[in-house]
Amino acid sequence: MITLIRNIFRSRKSETDLLKGEIELIYNIVPQDFGGGCSLYKALVMGEIIRQYKLRSSLDIGVYRGRSLFPMAIAHKFFTKGIVYGVDPYTKLDANQNDYPELKDELDKFVSVTDFQKIYKDVKDVIKNKELDDNCILVRETSSNAVLNFKKEGRKFGLIHIDGNHDTKFVIEDVLNYTPLLDHKGFVVLDDVSWNSVKPAYDILDKEMSLVIEFIDSLNDFALFAKGLTIDEVKELRAFLTKLVA
């Protein structure tokens, strides 16, 4: 009976409202902490990109607790029947970051006390319990190792979210390694663009792709870039995504 009522409720909502509601449900059980997170707005941006452009494959680099992975999986489940690949090694060694001196002590403390194996298991449990198995694949590798298999498989992605290790070397590697795997019409979401260590990667994307939106406030710090869109398509998408904030 509860499922029937929920399905009736869904039929009366817009697809954006449905996406938002499903993300909010999963956010109630997935915490956001110092180690990382994803605001509802950022999640909606990625989910709407998947929904509107009917993307069948997307990628989340830097899964952590899954607050960016799960919204992408939800968008695939309800709208495209596609798959998001979540890449994260879940090790203390790979979580170490050195290029943000202002936060170095806090980052080191976070790494030292975090049980990455447990977080990995928690993410797998959510995937199972929320029946996202068909729309979400975890790849427990560094992004530099994972890309080798993706290339061998000839895999392409419509949306790539780059939120792994924020040291300049690694962010640039992610941009250079993964942008060639974008579909003809594709999108990149780059996290923490206000960080000096991320700025060189931002500059690379800004030269090669179209900046759709850049959003920095107390909850958000990211930029969305598009490949293969006309100027008018970029403007239209920017206007739509801006309205989501209201």
- Identify the pLDDT of residue 13: 64
User: Residue 35 pLDDT > 90, yes or no?
Assistant: no
- Identify the pLDDT of residue 192: 96
Helix/strand/coil for 192: coil
The pLDDT tens digits for 70-89 are 999 999 999 999 999 999 99
Identify whether 2 is part of a domain.
no
β-strand partners of 139: 87
Average pLDDT over residues 193-208: 97
Residue 206's CATH number? 3.40.50.150
Identify whether 183 is part of a domain.
yes
- Identify the pLDDT of residue 200: 98
Which of these ranges, 30-44, 68-82, 201-215, has the smallest mean pLDDT? Answer: 30-44
Identify whether 30 is part of a domain.
yes
β-strand partners of 223: 190, 214
**Which token pair is 50?**
């998947």
Q: What DSSP designation does 33 have?
A: B
Identify whether 184 is part of a domain.
yes
- Identify the pLDDT of residue 167: 95
Distances (CA, A) of 129 to 12, 24, 45, 54, 146: 26, 16, 24, 25, 26
223-227 long-range Cβ contacts below 8 angstroms, 24+ apart: 223/189, 223/190, 223/193, 224/45, 224/49, 224/187, 224/188, 224/189, 225/187, 225/188, 225/189, 225/190, 226/185, 226/186, 226/187, 227/179, 227/182, 227/184, 227/185, 227/186, 227/187, 227/188
- Identify the pLDDT of residue 42: 97
- Identify the pLDDT of residue 101: 85
Residue 18 CA to residue 24 CA, distance in Å, equals 10
Closest CA to 57 of 225, 192, 187, 144: 187
- Identify the pLDDT of residue 39: 95
Which of these ranges, 18-22, 56-60, 97-101, 186-190, has the smallest mean pLDDT? Answer: 97-101
Residue 239 CA to residue 18 CA, distance in Å, equals 20
Percent of the chain whose pLDDT exceeds 70: 94
* Domain around 159: 14-243
Closest CA to 126 of 50, 62, 68: 68
User: Residue 134 pLDDT > 90, yes or no?
Assistant: yes
- Identify the pLDDT of residue 246: 65
Identify whether 1 is part of a domain.
no
Residue 131 CA to residue 207 CA, distance in Å, equals 39
User: Residue 132 pLDDT > 50, yes or no?
Assistant: yes
Residue 74 CA to residue 65 CA, distance in Å, equals 15
User: Residue 10 pLDDT > 90, yes or no?
Assistant: no
User: Residue 130 pLDDT > 50, yes or no?
Assistant: yes
Average pLDDT over residues 46-55: 98
Identify whether 3 is part of a domain.
no
Average pLDDT over residues 16-33: 94
Identify whether 71 is part of a domain.
yes
User: Residue 6 pLDDT > 80, yes or no?
Assistant: no
Average pLDDT over residues 108-128: 94
User: Residue 36 pLDDT > 90, yes or no?
Assistant: no
Identify whether 6 is part of a domain.
no
The pLDDT tens digits for 94-104 are 888 888 888 78
Domain tally for the chain? 1
Mention every residue, 6+ apart, whose C-beta is less than 8 A from residue 105.
none
* Average pLDDT value for the chain: 93
Mention every residue, 6+ apart, whose C-beta is less than 8 A from residue 228.
183, 184, 185, 186
